[in-house]
Amino acid sequence: MKRVFYLTILVLSYLNVFSCTTAVISGKYTKDGRPLLLKHRDTWATNNKIVILDDGKYSCVGLVNSVDTSNKSIWIGYNSAGFAIMNSASYNLNNDTIEQTGFEGRLMKEALQKCATIEDFERFLDKRKKPYRLEANFGVIDAEGGAAYFELGNFKYVKIDANDSKAAPYGYLIRTNYSFTGEMGKGAGYVRYVTADNVLRNAIAKDDLTYRTFVNDISRNLNHSLTGTDLVAEYGNLPENTEKIVFFKDFIPRSGSASSCIVQGVKKGEDPAFTTMWTMLGFPLTTVTIPVWLNDEGILPQVVIYNDSIKDALLCHYALELKKEVYSYRLGSHSNYYININALINRDNTGIMQVIKPVEDMILYEGEKRLDNWRKESINYEELQSYYDAVDVKVNLLYKTAFKNEINNSVQY
């Protein structure tokens, strides 16, 4: 009996840690006609970086664990053909005892280096040896207008097309930690699914579904769809420095949220080079969103690449330092179920999310403006470098001035 009890606790803990919220959106239903791919990543590996790889048939850019110094796995990314992929773990597809490898990231890296389209990815899966030893929902988009999920278990996969009005009547698909072709009621993420679904339905009804919907309304969502809790409405009016500890479980952001990336694809016929990954590196409630573009020059913001002195990306480090202010209650094994909501939002607009927003809005506005100009001609690499230099200055200035007491200044950057 004790063994069963401890095994149950271990499984529940595993589900809590690997609990991503993801979505695939057809370009037919977005405001600008371009498909979107979201991965709000929950994992034990909360230290992440961005890398560009050029050692495959297609070059690619993606999110990699900072400890993965050989860049063996990519957890969301896109390639030079405009093909993008991400995953969420599923826990209701396999009902056998076959050992799982957990190598979804390796599969996605290989797919990015070999596949140009969703059809290529399907053939890529068909050729792989079975059992797959995986249990996951793989979301994909491509430069041909494709947008789909592949629910993959040990011996088969099922493709669900976001352009199919029967499978996706509103042009979007959401997957948390269960699959629709698996046994319903098992797995995890049912509450998070409904929370995300409410946001997307509302955005489509207003014809206002953009990448910012995911940044502001999903990855930073402070609503609980089951209990009806709205933390902003309930506690946003408290004055600053009024510690208010609240229960924080089954919200989309959670203690294991390590990043959130939104790949914005291209319209059919557009240059795949304009594919953009709007990247929230580090804990989404305390980080800044930065656009990332794949380029032959290997140009990236310094704050999102691996920094050898801290063994992490600088932006991720900043976000994790501020996360400690949010999870300020640290007594007991379940302290990660509680946050100090006042550290994020308050009446005086000095909460972390409130201080970050103006700087982030400036970064995003400048990025959108450049992207619009590039779409008329081509990406200007000198302009890209200049933009990223300015982003690095803004990010460092934000965290080292506005949050100078919270950030560890003993580290040399």
CA 375 to chain CA centroid, nearest Å: 25
Q: What is d(CA 127, CA 161) in angstroms, rounded to the nearest whole number? A: 21
Q: How many CB atoms lie within 10 A of CB 230?
A: 13
Amino acid at 409: N
Contacts of 290 (CB under 8 A, 6+ apart): 278, 279, 281, 301, 303, 304, 315, 363, 367, 391, 395
Q: Per CATH, is 21-402 categorized as 3.60.60.10? A: yes
pLDDT tens digits, 188-201: 999 999 999 999 99
Cα–Cα distance, 337 to 255 (Å, whole number): 8
Q: Please state the domain extents for the chain.
A: 21-402
User: Are 307 and 317 a contacting pair, CB within 8 Å?
Assistant: yes
Name which of 237, 265, 247 is nearest 342 in CA terms: 237
pLDDT at 410: 41
User: Each residue of 12-70: pLDDT tens digit?
Assistant: 334 444 689 999 999 999 999 999 999 999 999 999 999 999 999 999 999 999 999 99
Quick one: pLDDT at residue 246? 98
Give the residue ranges of the chain where pLDDT is below 70: 1-18, 408-413
Distances (CA, A) of 158 to 98, 138, 155, 181, 231: 19, 10, 11, 8, 38
Q: Which two tokens stand for residue 13?
A: 């803990």
pLDDT at position 406:
86
